[in-house]
Amino acid sequence: MNYIILDLEWNQSSTGQEPEAAKLPFEIIEIGAIKLNQERVMVSEFSQLIRPTVYRRMHRITSKLIHMRMEELERGKPFTQVVEDFLRWCGEDYIFCTWGPLDLTELQRNLRYYGMAPLSRGPIAFLDVQKLFSIAYEDRKSRRALEWAVDYLEIKKDIPFHRAFSDAYYTARVLAAIRDPEVLKNVSYDVFNPPLCREEEIKVQFDTYFKYISRTFPDKTAALADREVSSSKCYLCRRNLRKKVKWFSPNGRHYYCVAYCDKHGFLKCKTRIRKTEDGKVYVVKTSRFISPEDMEKLVERRDHARKMHSHSRKTAGKGPDKAGQTRGSIS
């Protein structure tokens, strides 16, 4: 399997007034890519400018960043042709790799705008090299700028940043620098097209956690009522577990619970509600085993939310409530 390291440059409305802005907030103006083989050795490259059809002026911040002028883009080819060439160049057996989670979403949005065939019916597995860098060299959570990672790894900066090809090139260098093959197993999913039915749902086991991306539901209540969403299952035993800490939410967007498995210990589930473009919702649930200490920390976090809540009630008199601690009603 090859690695296709993809980077896009895009432009946006300079006024924010264009009616197209709702359909196409970002217009892709350049595609750059590097192909690595199975051994992560560079075997091919792709670089193409795109002649814009929507935004005829370069946004001032964009132009400052990518050092490109509209006149240069006139030499570009139409988006549809460039994408066709690009996908042909990609070949058959590959996985997309990008710096950060945005590029595949914007690529698909542009494809849809031009009425082209979608890359996929549902979610697309890809490697977010920005995330892999964090897993390999930092705390798994931080997200660094590409140049930061290049400096950290002492990769020679022989071409300027912020052009599609050069950023794809540097991203490929960072990917190739990651030694531990286990890190590459941390695949991400672009959910521009969420799963529409049970069969399309994503269930993946990673080294230290399990990820579930649900099909879409009409609303949040329906999503939280679903058995698969609300369950706390040991992903090693495949058994449903009894909850020690029931579902609670410190902020209304994330939900947590802790269950206990006789064989594997405390299992923490974290559920995030995501909105789709057409107003539906889907759920991303991750499960991981935690230590008894971390279990205590989570309980404290719940109780802290409770305390903050009641404290604000007291100090504010008849006034407003604070963030509650169990915003959901997952059973």
Partner DNA sequence: CCGCAGACATGACACGTTTC
Partner DNA sequence: GAAACGTGTCATGTCTGCGG
Contact call for residues 224 and 329 (beta carbons, < 8 A): yes
Residues 29-58 that bind DNA (CB under 7 A): none
- Least Cα distance to 212 among 185, 225, 230 occurs for 230
The answer to the question of residue 167 lying near DNA (CB under 7 A) is yes
- Is 280 a residue that touches DNA (CB under 7 A)? no
Stretch that binds DNA, among 36-44, 75-83, 152-160, 309-317 (CB under 7 A): 309-317
Considering only 146, 150, 177, 184, the residue that binds DNA (CB under 7 A) is 146
Two structure tokens written together for 305: 């939310």
- Return d(Cα 29, Cα 73) in angstroms, integer: 7
The crossing angle, in degrees rounded to 10, of helices 164-177 and 129-137 is 30
- The answer to whether 112 contacts DNA (rule: CB under 7 A) is no
**Cβ-based neighbours of 148, under 8 Å, separated by 6 or more:** none
Is residue 76 within the footprint of DNA (CB under 7 A)?
no
Among 40, 77, 112, 162, binds DNA (CB under 7 A): 162
Alpha-carbon span 193 to 196, nearest angstrom: 8
Closer residue to DNA, CB minimum distance, 218 or 252: 252
Taking CB under 7 A as the criterion, the residue among 101, 113, 155, 228 binding DNA is 101
Partners of 254 in the β-ladder? 272
- In the complex, the smallest distance separating the C-beta of residue 294 from DNA, rounded to whole angstroms, is 14
Cα–Cα distance between 324 and 174 in angstroms, integer?
A: 43
- Residue 106's alpha-carbon distances to 59, 81, 83, 85, in angstroms, are 17, 17, 13, 18
Locate tokens 């935690």: which residue? Answer: 290
25 is an interface residue for DNA by CB under 7 A: yes
Structure tokens at 90: 């990609």
Using CB under 7 A as the binding rule, the residues of this chain from 214 to 273 that contact DNA are 220-221, 250-254, 272
Binder of DNA out of 49, 55, 62, 178 (CB under 7 A): 62
Binding map of DNA across residues 126-145, x = CB under 7 A, - = no contact:
----x------------xxx
Q: Which residues bind DNA (CB under 7 A)?
A: 7-10, 12-13, 16, 21, 25, 59, 61-62, 65-66, 99-102, 105, 130, 143-146, 148, 162, 167, 220-221, 250-254, 272, 274, 306, 308-310, 312-314, 317-329
